């Protein structure tokens, strides 16, 4: 098979294998999106008078078949084909003859891979925000169902102040709402079409860039053709950076689940179906799922750092270094999607041990409350603080647990779960309009 760049010059086999790398496997994730982008490019060429009616009518059904095969896992990329772009062009030539040879007019593999990646990132961002929304909703449901379960609040892993199962669970939901809001900015970065930049300097043709962008559901064209190539890596860094931030929130959730389900704490029960056994100790049930989920959160940070290193340290325009960005990006997104599904299932199965949690809420948790009560009666807070500390030290401290409430927003007596639920709906709903628009545009992309 002939590479797209082949010029009948000798090719070292080892060097070829090294430069191809993992692309024949990794690019399988991009093949359907490359077929969609190729359909938009063919339509743009046709509109500009650069592709005949017969050629367009031959290419569109062939591209639709490739996209369908790719979605089903039936599309393959031979090692000598290097990537999905070459494999698709070969398939088009086999199916349509000269029409398949004409489709590369006005584009380079540089903007071709960028477009496929942009479409892939956009699609998977929608899947990720759906996963975040479902997990946040599960956490809010857990909070509502356990609103009256007391729980110690910890700082430095030491008991600090009274909290509750609802305050604990809703905190993670709030963090996920913030991540959904951040994803809106990430989507706006992805919502620009690179097609038509070619190798980074455009092409001496009347390319219909705005038309192709509209066909693909993008809000606008990425204007600067040089910036199109400079953006390679920038959006991968942005997406994996968002995943790394998401992982920071989820890692804390996993840590707490592992800790609170130990025999020593016992606040949370993990069902047997969510634990694994020991090969030597008959009594052991291990929280492997939350430990591996916790490790996955760290792996997301690691892949983000790898993407950052690969993308940095280069001058402007295209460099082959960018090829190595694809695998950590695809792996990070796949891991994050699985992580969200797994944690949603875990959260939906959690049970609190009310008695163990209540027993852990001992008198010293109310030290700050009692100091505030005394300050409210006129004693300077620092003096009240010292009084309480002295009573705790001599064993005479006996707080009135109901003397003070925390009615402020986010306080134990005013968690505002309904407001968090509304914020979650709004943050997730922000993607409804662009998603519907894209689905409508892509639903006719292959129509003859």
In three-state form (DSSP H/G/I as H, E/B as E, the rest C), the secondary structure along 370-430 is HHHHHHHCCCCHHHHHHHHHHHHHHCCCCCCCCCCCCCCCCCCCCCCHHHHHHHHHHHHHC
Catalytic residue, chosen from 156, 402, 408, 443, is: 156
Residues 6+ apart with CB under 8 A from 247: 296, 297, 298, 300, 301, 336, 339
**Separation of alpha carbons 247 and 165, rounded Å:** 22
Find the DSSP H helices in 152-233. 165-190, 209-215, 225-230
**Separation of alpha carbons 176 and 418, rounded Å:** 15
Does 164 participate in catalysis according to the annotation?
no
Does 261 participate in catalysis according to the annotation?
no
233: left (phi over 0), alpha (psi -120 to 50) or beta: left
**Separation of alpha carbons 41 and 50, rounded Å:** 11
Picking from 48, 77, 75, 76, the residue whose alpha carbon sits closest to that of residue 64 is 75
Q: At what angle do helices 109-145 and 417-429 cross, to 10 degrees?
A: 160
**Residues 316 and 229 sit within 8 Å (Cβ to Cβ):** yes
Which tokens hold the place of 365?
Answer: 């948790």
From residue 21, how far is each of 24, 86, 239 by CA, in Å? 8, 15, 23
Q: Looking at the DSSP assignment, which residues form a beta bridge with residue 192?
A: 220
Catalytic residue, chosen from 71, 224, 278, 437, is: 278
Residues 6+ apart with CB under 8 A from 217: 434, 437, 438, 439, 440, 441, 442
Query: Would you please indicate which residues are annotated as catalytic (active-site) residues?
Result: 156, 278
């Amino acid at each position: 098979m002939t590479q797209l760049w082949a010029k009948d010059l000798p090719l070292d086999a080892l060097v070829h294998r090294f430069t191809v790398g993992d692309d024949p496997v990794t690019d399988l994730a991009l093949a359907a999106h490359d077929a969609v982008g190729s359909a938009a490019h063919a339509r743009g060429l046709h509109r500009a008078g650069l592709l005949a009616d017969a050629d367009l009518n031959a290419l569109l059904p062939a591209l639709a078949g490739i996209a369908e095969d790719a979605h089903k896992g039936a599309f393959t990329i031979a090692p000598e084909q290097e990537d999905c772009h070459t494999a698709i062009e070969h398939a088009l030539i086999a199916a349509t003859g000269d029409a398949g040879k004409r489709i590369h007019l006005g584009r380079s593999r540089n903007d071709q891979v960028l477009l496929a990646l942009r479409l892939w990132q956009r699609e998977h961002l929608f899947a990720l925000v759906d996963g975040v929304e479902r997990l946040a909703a599960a956490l809010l449901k857990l909070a509502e169902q356990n609103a009256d379960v007391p729980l110690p609040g910890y700082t430095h892993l030491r008991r600090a102040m009274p909290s509750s199962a609802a305050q604990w669970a809703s905190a993670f939901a709030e963090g996920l709402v913030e991540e959904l809001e951040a994803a809106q900015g990430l989507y706006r970065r992805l919502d620009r079409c690179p097609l038509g930049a070619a190798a980074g300097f455009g092409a001496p043709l009347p390319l219909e860039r705005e038309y192709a962008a509209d066909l693909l559901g993008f809000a606008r064209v990425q204007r600067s053709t040089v910036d199109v190539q400079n953006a390679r890596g920038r959006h991968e860094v942005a997406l994996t950076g968002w995943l790394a931030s998401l992982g920071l929130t989820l890692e804390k959730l996993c840590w707490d689940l592992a800790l609170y389900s130990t025999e020593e704490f016992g606040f949370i029960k993990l069902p047997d179906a969510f634990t694994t056994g020991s090969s030597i100790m008959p009594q052991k049930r291990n929280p492997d799922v939350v430990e591996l989920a916790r490790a996955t959160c760290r792996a997301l940070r690691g892949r983000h750092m790898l993407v950052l290193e690969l993308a940095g340290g280069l001058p402007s325009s295209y460099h082959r270094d960018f090829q190595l960005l694809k695998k950590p990006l695809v792996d990070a997104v796949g891991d994050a999607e699985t992580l969200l599904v797994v944690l949603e299932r875990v959260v939906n199965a959690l049970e609190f041990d009310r008695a163990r949690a209540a027993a852990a809420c001992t008198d010293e948790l109310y030290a700050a409350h009692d100091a505030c009560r005394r300050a409210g009666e006129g004693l300077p807070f620092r003096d009240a603080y010292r009084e309480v500390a002295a009573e705790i030290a001599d064993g005479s401290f006996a707080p009135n647990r109901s003397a003070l409430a925390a009615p402020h927003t986010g306080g134990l007596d005013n968690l505002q779960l309904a407001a968090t639920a509304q914020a979650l709906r709004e943050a997730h709903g922000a993607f409804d309009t662009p998603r519907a628009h894209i689905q409508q545009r892509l639903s006719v992309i292959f129509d003859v």
